[in-house]
Amino acid sequence: MRDTTSANHSGLPRYALVHRLLHWLIAALVLLAFAFGATIGYFEFGGLREMVGPAGTDLIYTTHKTLGVLILGFMVLRLLSRVTFGKPAYATPLPAPQRIASQVAHTLFYVLLFAMPVLGWLATAAGGFPVSLFHLELPGLIGRNDALSETLFLWHQYVGYALITLVVIHIAGALYHWRVRRDEVMQRMSLLPGTRTG
């Protein structure tokens, strides 16, 4: 594959700019989706209605659904970016176990970040609720099935837990490379002009 990745002013290889922008945009959307999803899970529909009223409850649910649809759309763009622009080499080669762990983690990120919004979309439709992108109602794709909706929502929740775990591991790994190994791995996804940290 043709190398279309970029480098910062210190010559360190980095992902293409569009890929880095999508990385941080999706990260922000995922954190927001977690926050709204946790709020919904903790208070549930009845608790939210009592606390913020019908309009506030609708806003919270619509926002969570919108974030999920946006994550799915941007993940499609990110996958296209990854295929188009490729992956930069490491400035300092990683030991084989770390390289394999990184590949597994990134593959899981792609799988989970596609699976979670798709499960939410289908669970919402199967429950007879609107699939929302802001104030636009999207096609449900499947018909009403309350039992299926309950199962899909449960898997949506399980995938959320798995994704939270993976995010924590990912952040811990990034901090390890930044503060312990000082091997410029974090520069590959940075939006800032970087300098060598070693």
Identify whether 198 is part of a domain.
no
Residue 145 lies in a domain: yes
Q: Report percent pLDDT > 70 for the chain.
A: 90
DSSP letters of the chain? Answer: -----EE-TT--EE--HHHHHHHHHHHHHHHHHHHHHHHHHHHHHHHHHHHHHHHHHHHHHHHHHHHHHHHHHHHHHHHHHHHHH--PPPSSPPPHHHHHHHHHHHHHHHHHHHHHHHHHHHHHHHTT--EEETTEEEP-SS---HHHHHHHHHHHHHHHHHHHHHHHHHHHHHHIIIIII--SGGGGT-SS------
Task: Answer whether residue 133 is part of any domain.
Answer: yes
Residues 29-45, mean pLDDT to the nearest whole number:
96
Residue 193 within any structural domain of the chain:
no
Report pLDDT for 181.
74
Residue 178: CATH number of its domain = 1.20.950
The answer to the question of residue 131 being in a domain is yes
Number of structural domains in the chain: 1
Residue 1, domain member (yes or no): no
Q: In which domain, by residue range, is 27 found?
A: 7-188
Residue 194 lies in a domain: no
pLDDT of residue 180: 83
Grade residue 195 by pLDDT with cuts at 50, 70 and 90. very low
> Does residue 197 sit within a domain?
no
Give residue 3's pLDDT band: very low, low, confident or very high (50, 70, 90): very low
